[in-house]
Amino acid sequence: MKVFRGLGIAVLTMLAWSVLASAQFTPGSWQGINNAPPSAVAHAMMLSDGSVLVNSFFFQTHVDKWYRLIPDNTGSYLNGKWVAAGSLPSGYNPLYFASSMLPSGQVVIVGGEYNNGGSSWTTLGASYNPAGNKWTSLAAPTGWTSVGDAQSVILPNGKFMLANCCTKQQAILSSLNPVTWASTGTGKFDENDEEGWTLLPDGNVLTVDAYVNQYNPKGMNSEIYNTSTGSWSSAGSTVVQLWDSCRNTQSYEVGPAVLRPDGTVFATGANGCGAGHTAIYNTATATWAAGPDFPGTLDISDGPAALLPDGNVLLDTSPGIFQTGDQFFEFDGTNLNSVPGPPNSGIDSSYVSSLVVLPTGQVLFTDFTSNVQIYTPVGTACSSCAPTITSVSSTLTHGSKNNLIKGMQLNGVSAASTYGDDNQSASNFPLVRITDSASHVVYCRTHSFSTMGVATGTKPVAARFDIPPAIATGPATLEVVTNGIASAAVSVTIN
């Protein structure tokens, strides 16, 4: 049973709470972008050409328009411009859906808890090709009667894995042309509903069970999907309950779970009758431990989290289930450190928010309005997380395609941006950024990634990239940036 996430926004009477903080912690700051989007915007995700894809937000029947935020020639997203990114096929206007970017650079979205303003758990879907700026209908797996607010993930082999929100079904998209799905996921303990997926360093996928047992209010099970066998097995007890089973709400929601550079997964919870718990999964020992509770009645009953370059996790919490009055924190591995919120914090609930890690190391925030904000953290980027370039041509031609770049850890150490179950916005892929002879920052479109795994360490990996025709010729510097962390720059010549 699902609980409706109401769209009305009301001002919350704020409660007093204690806040955990590290004595050395300095919070970041928020700043609104200088050019507002053409409309209110909702879900946002990073693309491989350095732009951010967002959808317009109108909770009613209409043609669903999408936009891209393109940074200016200094690389600034605060001064970026908006361009049209096409419209979804007629009749498909989803809210809360599965979304991922394929190794080709194309985007796939499937499902929706709502469609055209009505509760639907739709099976409709679409794919977006940035090269043609066009959306195309995408059929769900044969026989599925729902997809809804489903979770999805790109597996290390580059395949898109999708859940059916309301059953134990999962499928892998084997091909876009023709659309071909293959069933997977044998042995799943409970329904997929409200659960999120976290890609692990070994290539497997972690989930915290939300429908552990509708008659067991103390369920604390987690599961691992084995990418080699296509099957699920228990990952043990989360020690504290992370899903909401409060008899007054029974939303079954959980919060986001983020892989950090130290190999731990920070998993957040929802609790409609009290404070939200957190738990920490150690991928090296395959064990769970309780993390710090959110203060007061705060939790993340659906909501975003983003891994910052220094390894902290930026979190958007709000009180109870879908109540307003956001509070933001950075988790540093031990403490929940309070940070200021963007202007709409007093009237937002965590579920309306989207966080996307930008290549600048900043985080872009949307909340169903046109007031798009950017968070600038102050921490120093994790040096061991940086990608390394081992091979790229020293001479590159403007307008050329399929240039090869090789290196290590080009996909970063984490998917970086995540949400409770739907609205995925992973950024574990390399962006090629060139500063040309005119001192302009230019992002090349990357594609054909040899892996979509994370934390690949010293394993050689590769990608292809296309040089924009407008780039200035002459000496330039090139770097790979992933999840806001840049490699050492190398010198190239654009001919």
Span 152-206, pLDDT tens digits: 999 999 999 999 999 999 999 999 999 999 999 999 999 999 999 999 999 999 9
Alpha carbon 235 to chain centroid distance? 23
What is the predicted pLDDT for the residue at 9? 33
In this structure, how many other beta carbons lie within 10 angstroms of the beta carbon of residue 264? 18
Distance of CA 104 to the CA centre of its chain: 18
Amino acid 12: pLDDT? 30
Q: What is the pLDDT of residue 15?
A: 29
Amino acid at 101: M
Distances (CA, A) of 469 to 129, 279, 400, 408, 495: 19, 48, 8, 28, 11
**Given CA atoms 224, 305, 488, 495 in this order, what sign does their dihedral have?**
positive
Distance CA 21, CA 292 (A): 11
pLDDT score of 404: 98
Q: Nearest-CA neighbor of 455 among 106, 233, 204, 255?
A: 204
pLDDT in tens, 439-459: 999 999 999 999 999 999 999
- The ranges of the chain with pLDDT < 70 are 1-23, 59-63, 212-218, 247, 272
- Pick the closest to residue 41 from 68, 71, 7, 8 (CA basis): 68
DSSP strands (E only) in 75-178: 81-87, 94-95, 98-101, 107-110, 114-115, 118-119, 125-129, 134-137, 152-154, 160-163, 170-176
- Output the pLDDT for position 14: 30
Q: What integer pLDDT is reported at residue 214 of this predicted model?
A: 55
Residue spans of the domains in the chain: they are 29-376, 384-494
How many whole angstroms separate alpha carbon 212 and alpha carbon 103? Answer: 33
φ/ψ of residue 385, rounded to 5: -90, -10
Q: What is the pLDDT of residues 389-435, one digit of tens each?
A: 999 999 999 999 999 999 999 999 999 999 989 999 999 999 999 99
Domain 384-494 falls under CATH 2.60.40.10: yes
Rounded distance, CA 411 to CA 161, Å?
A: 18
What's the pLDDT score for residue 13?
Answer: 28
The angle subtended at Cα 332 by Cα 456 and Cα 451, nearest 5°, is 15
CATH 3.10.580.10 fits 29-376, yes or no: no
